[in-house]
Amino acid sequence: MRRPIDSLFGRLALLVVAVLMLSHFAWYALMRLERSQLQTRYAVEEATFLVDAVRQHVARTPDQPLPSRVKLVDPASPDVPAASANMPPPLERFVEDVRDRMPADTQVRISPPGGPPTLWVRAATDRNWIVVPVQPLRMPRSLDRTVSWLVIIFSFAVMAALFAAWALQRPLRLLAQAVARFGRGLPVPPVPERGPRELRQLTHGFNQMVQEVARTENDRAVMLAGVAHDLKTPLARLRLRAEMMDDAKTRDGVVRDVDSMTHIVEQFLLFAHDGADRSEPVEVDAQCERVVRSYRAVASGAPIVHTELNAGPSFQLPAATLDRILSNLIDNAHAYGAPPVVVATARTPQGFTLSVSDNGKGIAAQDLISASRPFVRLDPARGGNGHSGLGLAIVERLVRRAGGEWEIGNHDGRGLRVLMSFPFEVLPRVATASENAW
């Protein structure tokens, strides 16, 4: 099961959202703290200004009445609040800030709770207590208009960051898809060189590598095809001369050798062929039955071949590709395995499977990786006349060219099994290729 967090975009999105959430939370907390401090400083400045204004008023115009909320109170009055030692931290900080702004030995008190907040101030030179109103020191509310703006800004920031993350990982995703196609042996068009400088350099290097590999493969295919084609004519003349020999024993030996060489040449030509299969798609189950039936008729002395065909009529592949796959695998099973040989198809939740297995000794575990490499012949059990070491390499190339995957291994401790898997989406591609060919 694919998890979104496993992808580059998923991890970038998670990182971006986490960073934005942390930064916005820190900014909001800092803004609330700064607003509280600003409120305290403003209240201190306002109270200090009012106290100084009252002192000037008393010194210059003592006969003029004071504002309604400002008054002078005799120190002996019972209304004078007592000094409180257990004030809330914001209020205690406010009192300390006001005392710092006043002359030395100034007494600063706050009216008891329950009424309008007032500040009581009396310096050493003051005859009376100066009582002035103060701005209420309210803590910022937990939810206010700032939160709404914060949510809006955060949403737009997340959308912009996700778009940037998508744009950053898209070239890398295209490169990963191209690497996957290249690993399966499928044609790889040039990948657009986009994104950051390092990613552009990586894409450019990959495109150059694909071009060099394709050029090398093409040169090798041309060389093999040319050599194989040039050998067909002398082999035909050699067979004709062998047929004219008088000694039957010698004639049969030479003909067998010529047939082996002809088979090797045909394998070279098939391996060198790199074009798309334009043959008509056929039902795999029906074609497997026909190939096995014809094989039994032609090779009457060959080991038994069984079929277990359960894929259904919707499993289709190009006829030429399927015939080449089956002929190479059945020949390989007859040459190196033991009867019975089983050709099986099945339908799975992921697609269709086609397998060919025998009951021989199989291949040693350390040789399974190299068994499908071109021109590799595993000795001593996998030698013989007429074999070039291309059979399994041809099958691998044909399967991947048809859009499938293959797996080679020993099944149940017996014999060799080649399991080929084709996803459902391959079938429309095969049908479309056939229609284009017409």
The 3-class SS string of 238-304 reads: HHHHHHCCCCHHHHHHHHHHHHHHHHHHHHHHHHHCCCCCCCCEEEHHHHHHHHHHHHHHHCCCCCC
Q: Which tens digits make up the pLDDT trace of 169-205?
A: 788 888 888 888 787 667 788 888 887 788 888 888 9
Which tokens is 302 given?
């060959």
Query: What H or E segment, with its residue span, contains residue 407?
Result: strand 405-411
Please enumerate, as own/partner, the contacts of 346-350 that have beta carbons within 8 Å and a separation of 24 or more. 346/310, 346/311, 347/310, 347/311, 347/312, 347/315, 348/421, 350/421, 350/423, 350/424
C-alpha to C-alpha distance for 372 and 408, rounded to whole angstroms: 9
Mean pLDDT of 146-161: 78
Lookup: tokens for 10: 């998923």
Using pLDDT thresholds of 50, 70 and 90, give the confidence band for residue 1. Answer: very low
The structure tokens 């910022």 sit at: 140
Q: Express each pLDDT in 211-245 by its tens digit.
A: 888 777 776 666 666 666 567 677 777 777 777 77
Confidence at residue 258, expressed as pLDDT on a 0 to 100 scale: 73
pTM, to two decimals: 0.47
Extents of the domains making up the chain: 4-133, 276-437
Give the whole-angstrom CA distance, residue 246 versus residue 241. Answer: 11
% of the chain beyond a pLDDT of 90: 7
Q: What is the pLDDT of residue 308?
A: 92
CATH code that applies to domain 4-133: 3.30.450
3 pLDDT band, cuts 50/70/90, is low
More confident site: 362 or 49: 49
Between 333 and 308, name the one with better pLDDT: 308
Higher pLDDT, 121 or 161: 121
Contact 341, 356 (CB under 8 A): yes
Q: How far apart are the first and last CA of the chain?
A: 40
Contact 332, 378 (CB under 8 A): no
Q: Amino acid identity of 377?
A: R
**Radius of gyration over every alpha carbon of the chain, rounded to an integer in angstroms:** 45
For residue 384, name the pLDDT band (cuts at 50, 70, 90).
very low
Q: What is the average pLDDT across 407-417?
A: 80
Inform me whether the pLDDT recorded for 141 exceeds 60: no
Tell me what pLDDT residue 395 has. Answer: 83
pLDDT for residue 388 is more than 60? no
Pick the CATH number of 276-437 from 3.40.140.10, 3.60.15.10, 3.30.565.10, 3.30.390.30: 3.30.565.10
Q: Which residue has the higher pLDDT, 82 or 275?
A: 82
Tokens in use for 130? 């100066």
